[in-house]
Amino acid sequence: MIDPYGDPVAKPCADRHGRTMRSLPFILSLCISALPVFAQAASSDWRHVEGGSIRIVTSGAPDASGHLRGALEIRLKAGWKTYWLDPGDAGVPPTLTATGRTTIPVEIGFPAPARFDDGYATSAGYDHPVSLALTFALPDDTVLPTRLEAEIFLGLCETICIPVQASLSFDPRNDAGDPEHASVVENAFAVLPEPARPDFSARLVETGETSVLLAADLPEGVRALDLFIAGTPSLTLDTPQKESKGSQTLFRVPVVARTGTGGDELAYTLVTDAGAVSGHIRLP
């Protein structure tokens, strides 16, 4: 199916580190470019693409720091999936840039992902409709832009992987109190992992040329299930392998490639049978 708003445009596809995606059988190396959708509401129109639909929703007014909350809704068709911050062996992580009168920084919050193994590669993401929490850092003034435009790049995969590029437009001032929009945004933030704390986090044990070893610090009676950790532009990581040392749960993370001299800060989500926490680990 071709997106009804525009023809596909072939272009090389790369992940958030600028690397071309590792090829897999059945992966279609094609980015679907969607024409802009101009909406005069706090929500953009739905953009229908192969494998699902996407839109941006915002709700309420900016807080005292100028932060406006929103959500990137991704409705997936049955059998399709999309990706976490670091997709793993193959896939496209979601990225979003926004502009109003100037470029507007946007922070994306990810719910805890699941691990997928299709026999060719292991990836991290979601196989159900998901909303990513968005925080727009608006300029230091009291007047909201009349319209924000967002450029989105993400991957939707079934037996083929289709990177999707779309331009969405919305007016955060218009109908900002819509209860449906408020519910979407509240739910996107409600399902985010809790911030890591000293007794519930991942901790660096050792780092070497070929792997990084992390320990899970857990409350009593809590069992670690999985660890998702994102690489950086200078450090590519493979799937963490869970190990046990007495009562301690460890995760050994293979290093695929390293081009920097250290000091990388790694974002992670630790999934347990008592919920998930997210944090950052800085390597020496």
β-pair type (148-157, 161-170): antiparallel
The yes-or-no verdict on residue 13 having pLDDT over 80 is no
Q: pTM, whole model, 2 decimals? A: 0.85
pLDDT tens readout for residues 144-188: 666 899 999 999 999 888 899 999 999 988 888 899 999 999 999
Spatial separation of the C-alpha atoms in residues 283 and 271, rounded to whole Å? 21
List of domains in the chain:
32-190 (2.60.40.1250), 194-282 (2.60.40)
Q: What is the pLDDT of residue 41?
A: 64
Region 7-18: mean pLDDT is 38
Partners of 25 in the β-ladder: none
What CA–CA distances, in Å, run from 78 to 22, 52, 157? 25, 9, 11
- Torsion angle of alpha carbons 33, 97, 127, 11, nearest 10°? 30
pLDDT tens readout for residues 203-243: 999 999 999 999 999 999 999 999 999 999 999 999 999 99
The yes-or-no verdict on residue 35 having pLDDT over 50 is no
Region 25-48: mean pLDDT is 57
% of the chain surpassing 70 pLDDT = 83
Q: Which two tokens stand for residue 28?
A: 């279609």
The yes-or-no verdict on residue 87 having pLDDT over 90 is yes
Spatial separation of the C-alpha atoms in residues 214 and 196, rounded to whole Å? 14
Over the range 36-58, which residues count as b (16 or more CB within 10 Å of their CB) and which as e? Answer: bbebebbbbbebbbbbbbbbbbb
Spatial separation of the C-alpha atoms in residues 230 and 238, rounded to whole Å? 9
Q: What is the pLDDT of residue 140?
A: 72
Helices (H) and strands (E) in the chain, counts: 1, 22
Partners of 195 in the β-ladder: 278
